[in-house]
Amino acid sequence: MTSRADLAREIAASFAAAGLETPEREARALLRAGLGLSDVDLLARADAAVPEAEAHRLRALAARRAAGEPLARLVGRREFWSLDFALAPETLVPRPETETLVEAALAAFPDRATPLAILDLGTGSGALLAALLSEYPAAFGIGVDLSPGAARQARANLESLGLGARAAILVGAWADALAGRFDLVVSNPPYIPTMDIAALDREVREHDPLLALDGGPKGLDAYRAIARALPGLLRPGGRAVLELGIGQEGDVATLLTAVGLAPDGPARRDLAGIARAIVTRPA
């Protein structure tokens, strides 16, 4: 039988040959996820044998990773805000930069005991909504997604995280199915200009759902729809927090200002220094 350490080296070599930037780290991550191990288990028992059937399965996963399939898609899970989310083909892989929206919301509503009504438009895996509900234990949230498959996955994730009793998931186009008002509206909408889709990294272009990527000719279609709906969605004092694509702050600020919801200062930047989360002034 092959040891864990030997298999990790073998897979890392295949990743290096495929041109992956961090082959050793990705090989260890694949073994951890594929074998259900912690970092400690993997390091402390590097000489443990991997049954041949398991080694064959991991080599097959490694071949798919080397061909460009994201690790999160291979294992079907991704961490976001220290919470674990299952993925579906209809959901984006939650990304670290989206955590900037959670940080912006926490700054806008610093009292964690506030019984907020939260709306997540385009909820996908439910990651944003779940992160916020985990931080605001008295809050209730609604997630909306156009994709029934994404909505099913979001509902399952919220249930598995113990948040199902404080959340509802609906299928619909943005706010079309809603009549209530909310303290906090968040969204990570599709914002890639249609013509730019073909130039995206292969991992995104070939494996993330087009519905969650394509923002129309200039990447602003979803923002227009959301901006039109926000005045009827926000309670007095309410805020909206929207994720931005690179270079979109000015255009989105103009759309929000046009409906009477000017930004509450510059957009919050992510760890790469990119303007990522735009927050409206209190409605």
126 annotated among ligand-binding-site residues = yes
125 annotated among ligand-binding-site residues = yes
- 8 A C-beta contact, residue 109 and residue 116: yes
- Contact residues for 282 (Cβ-Cβ < 8 A; gap 6+): 236, 237, 238, 239, 264
User: Per residue, what are the HEC states of 249-277?
Assistant: HHHHHHHHHHCCCCECCCCEECCCCCEEE
* The predicted structure's pLDDT at residue 35: 84
Instruction: Give the number of domains in the chain.
Output: 2
- Residue showing tokens 């994201």: 70
**Co-location of 39 and 133 in the same domain:** no
**Co-location of 33 and 134 in the same domain:** no
Task: Answer whether residue 164 shows pLDDT above 90.
Answer: yes
**Co-location of 218 and 184 in the same domain:** yes
Query: Domain of 104: which CATH number?
Result: 3.40.50.150
122 annotated among ligand-binding-site residues = yes
Residue 231 lies in a domain: yes
**Co-location of 244 and 184 in the same domain:** yes
Domain-terminating residue out of 67, 94, 122: 67
190 annotated among ligand-binding-site residues = yes
Domain-terminating residue out of 19, 37, 67: 67
**Co-location of 51 and 104 in the same domain:** no
Q: What is the pTM of this model?
A: 0.87
223 annotated among ligand-binding-site residues = no
CA distance 118 to 245: 23
> What's the domain range around 43?
2-67
**Co-location of 48 and 21 in the same domain:** yes
**Co-location of 55 and 91 in the same domain:** no
Domain-terminating residue out of 43, 67, 91: 67
Strand partners, 117: 140
What are 101-147's pLDDT values in tens digits? 999 999 999 999 999 999 999 999 999 999 999 999 999 999 999 99
189 annotated among ligand-binding-site residues = yes
Residue 114 lies in a domain: yes
Q: How many C-beta atoms surround the C-beta of residue 98 within 10 A?
A: 21
**Co-location of 199 and 248 in the same domain:** yes
238 annotated among ligand-binding-site residues = no
- 8 A C-beta contact, residue 237 and residue 283: yes
123 annotated among ligand-binding-site residues = yes
What are 10-25's pLDDT values in tens digits? 899 999 998 888 889 8
Buried residues in 49-87 as b, exposed as e (16+ CB within 10 A):
ebeeebbeebeebbeebbeebbbbbbbebbebbebebeb
